Amino acid sequence: MTLLGLTGGVGMGKSACAQFLRERAIPVIDTDDLARAVVEPGQPALSEIQKTFGHEMIGPDGRLRRDLLARRVFSDPDARHQLEAILHPRIRALWRAQVDQWRNEHRPKAVVAIPLLFETGTESQFDAVICVACSRATQMERLKARGWSAEQIDQRIRAQLPTEDKIARSNYVIWTEGPLEIHAAQLDRILNPSSCLG
């Protein structure tokens, strides 16, 4: 099985790329989804977050107050590292278990989408890494459309490797400035059986 890593800066098109992959019958696991799953009520990570960051991080419904936690960790690098120490090992165990299952199913290709792929040092786990990227101006427009403030955008961008570094360390780059059809066409060239990933 060829295992691909999918990464890129926040707001640069990973979700769209993951959807294109699924449409092409290539299985994808997104660590953003896993990050939400491991903090569901009753999960050990949620109680560890509560112990580390305080009872106020849990709402009356017993669920994580994501906005409150985000404000805390994105304004304090030490707090962010504490959170990552709680979440990342659990997330990694889940996606590795899924990859093992895909191997047992003899899937020809599979993809793990990891926003912090290089930051967490997991690039060696993959046969190749695809990075989605766009200009800073387009990234800002997309994140503002999510309702994020300039401060929130800046904090999240600073929490990741610069896009240039991600591009330089990846095997393939998909430039997501243009229409979605162009994004998809770039992906198809990477996946084409005549390429080295065939």
Mind listing the pLDDT tens digit for each residue in 17-27?
999 999 999 99
Residue 198 burial by Cβ neighbours in a 10 Å radius (0-12, 13-18, 19+): exposed
If residue 110 lies in a helix (H) or strand (E), which one and from where to where?
strand 109-113
Whose CA is closest to 139, among 170, 162, 119? 162
| pLDDT (0 to 100) of residue 198 | 46
Are residues 20 and 32 in contact, defined by beta-carbon separation less than 8 angstroms? no
What tokens were used for 121? 């040092």
Q: Distances from the Cα of 2 to the Cαs of 56, 106, 107, 141, in angstroms?
A: 44, 10, 8, 34
CATH assignment of 2-189? 3.40.50.300
Query: Using one digit for the tens of pLDDT, what is the confidence trace for 103-137?
Result: 999 999 999 999 999 999 999 999 999 999 999 99
Beta carbons within 8 Å of 19's beta carbon, 6+ residues apart:
none
Are residues 64 and 39 in contact, defined by beta-carbon separation less than 8 angstroms? yes
Q: Round the average pLDDT of the chain to a whole number and report it.
A: 93
**197: pLDDT strictly greater than 80:** no
Beta carbons within 8 Å of 100's beta carbon, 6+ residues apart:
none
Query: Using one digit for the tens of pLDDT, what is the confidence trace for 130-174?
Result: 999 999 999 999 999 999 888 888 888 988 899 999 999 999 999
**51: pLDDT strictly greater than 70:** yes
| pLDDT (0 to 100) of residue 195 | 47
Instruction: Reduce the DSSP state of residue 142 to 3 states and report it.
Output: helix
Token pair 């991600």 is found at 166
**88: pLDDT strictly greater than 80:** yes
